[in-house]
């Protein structure tokens, strides 16, 4: 996904331009830190105290220049208007968040308002059109049958959450003035790997396969996750 994001940024901004980035629901700050290391000014918004502590610990180990380029704010992604002025960012990330929001329309509209004209909105969501795949491959036929007509699923943390359909999000992005420009599949072949699995020796080949599948039909349509990129008009 990082490669996909970098590709979209490179297609829209001159090389070396320092961008204003907002990472909503930044978690432990993996993407936020990576972008700060690349020279961008990054703001991470997170409400979970454990994740905030992990992100701050990681940031504390970075050189001073990177620490100065990143700030962490405790807050809910649905309250971006409380913390920031409209049009304050060139890039807004919202990765792995929508599955925890029952009604995401207000959140999406708020994210779009944070973007400057021409700004990039990057979403990572669970693919509702592929929910039957994992139980099917596991031989859970009843689970697979139920998943065909559902957007609800139980994640690996044991939480009951929701997925999104590409068509629904395409309409939603058009409605908030940040129409879909490009989309990718993420975890096409590796979604069934167990937690804690060892990194294989041929990991570079694995990543090349996943990257190719993530941009190629029909493979990307059955990816566990979808990476959608919209651009503010």
DSSP strands (E only) in the chain: 20-24, 41-46, 70-74, 89-95, 115-126, 152-154, 160-162, 180-186, 225-231
| The predicted structure's pLDDT at residue 33 | 97
Are 206 and 190 in contact by the 8 Å Cβ rule? The answer is yes
Are 210 and 190 in contact by the 8 Å Cβ rule? The answer is yes
| The predicted structure's pLDDT at residue 197 | 81
| The predicted structure's pLDDT at residue 194 | 79
Instruction: Split the chain (233 residues) into runs of 10 and give each run's mean pLDDT.
Output: 95 95 96 97 97 97 96 93 96 97 95 98 98 94 96 91 98 98 96 83 94 97 98 95
| The predicted structure's pLDDT at residue 129 | 97
| The predicted structure's pLDDT at residue 92 | 98
| The predicted structure's pLDDT at residue 52 | 97
For the chain, the residue count is 233
Are 1 and 9 in contact by the 8 Å Cβ rule? The answer is no
Strand partners, 125: 226
| The predicted structure's pLDDT at residue 199 | 85
Q: How many CB atoms lie within 10 A of CB 63?
A: 8
How many separate helices (H) and strands (E) can be counted in the chain? 10, 9
The answer for residues whose C-beta is within 8 angstroms of residue 38's C-beta and 6 or more apart is none
């Amino acid at each position: 996904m990082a490669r996909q994001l970098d590709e979209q940024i490179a297609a829209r901004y001159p090389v070396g331009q320092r961008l204003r980035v907002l990472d909503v629901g930044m978690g432990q700050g993996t993407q936020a830190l990576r972008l700060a290391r690349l020279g961008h000014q990054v703001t991470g918004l997170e409400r979970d105290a454990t994740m905030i502590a992990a992100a701050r610990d990681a940031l504390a180990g970075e050189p001073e220049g990177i620490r100065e380029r990143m700030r962490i704010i405790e807050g809910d992604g649905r309250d971006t208007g409380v913390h920031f002025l409209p049009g304050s960012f060139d890039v807004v990330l919202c990765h792995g968040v929508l599955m925890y929001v029952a009604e995401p329309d207000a959140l999406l509209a708020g994210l779009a308002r944070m973007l400057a004209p021409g700004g990039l909105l990057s979403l990572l969501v669970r693919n509702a059109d592929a929910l039957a795949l994992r139980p099917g491959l596991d031989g859970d036929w009843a689970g697979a049958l139920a998943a065909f007509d559902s957007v609800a699923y139980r994640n690996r943390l044991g939480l009951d959450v929701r997925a999104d359909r590409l068509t629904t999000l395409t309409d939603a992005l058009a409605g908030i003035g940040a129409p879909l420009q490009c989309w990718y599949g993420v975890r096409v072949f590796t979604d069934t790997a167990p937690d804690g699995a060892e990194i294989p020796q041929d990991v570079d080949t694995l990543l090349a396969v996943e990257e190719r599948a993530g941009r190629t039909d029909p493979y990307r349509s059955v990816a566990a996750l979808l990476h959608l990129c919209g651009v503010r008009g």
